[in-house]
Amino acid sequence: MKIALQFAMPAELHALPGARDLAPMETISGVPFFEVAPGIPACVGGVSKVNAAMAAEILCLRFGVDMILNAGVAGCATDLPTGSLVVASEFVQHDVDTTAVGDPIGLVSTVNQVAFPTWEPERCVDILKSLGAYAVTGRVATGDWFAVKGDRSRWIADTFHPTLVEMEGGAIAQVCLRNGVKFVALKSVSDHLFSDNQAEEYFDFGHALEELGKIVLPFAQALQKEEL
């Protein structure tokens, strides 16, 4: 099975041991692609849904991957500690709204889905456990908005009931669905939406990156050996 890693920010890629010194093997449409281990490409696709979707489509079409593992930090809508690992069970897109024409909130047109499941999240948790890492599963809400404390975050929490909120995973999930590619997402809690100290948490998320960086590549290599 061919697996690829997709990150949004350079700091997330650089959390992998030795990755800071890697040079891109090629750059396509402004997206740098690296080989982080033999046969495992990785990219830094950029922040937000359009950037994420474009990078994921390149991984599907140019690199012919069977699975994309999206790894990164995310804001927490619950009380999980900073650095907690979460395997996404499914994604929703909180900023998609065609309710004016009778659709349910969050319905993504064309594919006509609200929720985008990931590949066997409980199995992923077991794989991580075998590698010495503890993770929980949870729904993740994606949107082109950095979620901060306030009415909008409360509405997202009350409407979609996510564990995490971030800006890329839902788009990657949609691209993978349309390409018949399996999708796994591993997120590390960087900040808390309803904390008065959210900004300080986000700009000091070294612990979250550390917890993520030391497990991502072993996790990808373990997934590579799975029979799908």
Q: pLDDT per residue over 112-161, tens digit each? A: 999 999 999 999 999 999 999 999 999 999 999 999 999 999 999 999 99
Amino acid 96: pLDDT:
97
State mean pLDDT over 74-98: 97
Q: Is a pLDDT exceeding 90 seen at residue 23?
A: yes
Number of continuous H segments (helices) and E segments (strands) in the chain:
7, 10
Amino acid 130: pLDDT:
97
CA max distance for the chain:
51
C-alpha span between 213 and 3 (Å, rounded): 17
Taking only the tens place, the pLDDT of each residue in 87-120 is: 999 999 999 999 999 999 999 999 999 999 999 9
DSSP, collapsed to helix, strand or coil, labels residue 98 as coil
Q: Of 15-19, 65-69, 164-168, 178-182, where does mean pLDDT reach its minimum?
A: 15-19
Taking only the tens place, the pLDDT of each residue in 156-190 is: 999 999 999 999 999 999 999 999 999 999 999 99
Taking only the tens place, the pLDDT of each residue in 187-210 is: 999 999 999 989 888 888 788 898
Amino acid 200: pLDDT:
86
* CATH code, 3-224: 3.40.50.1580
Instruction: Report the first-to-last Cα separation within the chain, whole angstroms.
Output: 8
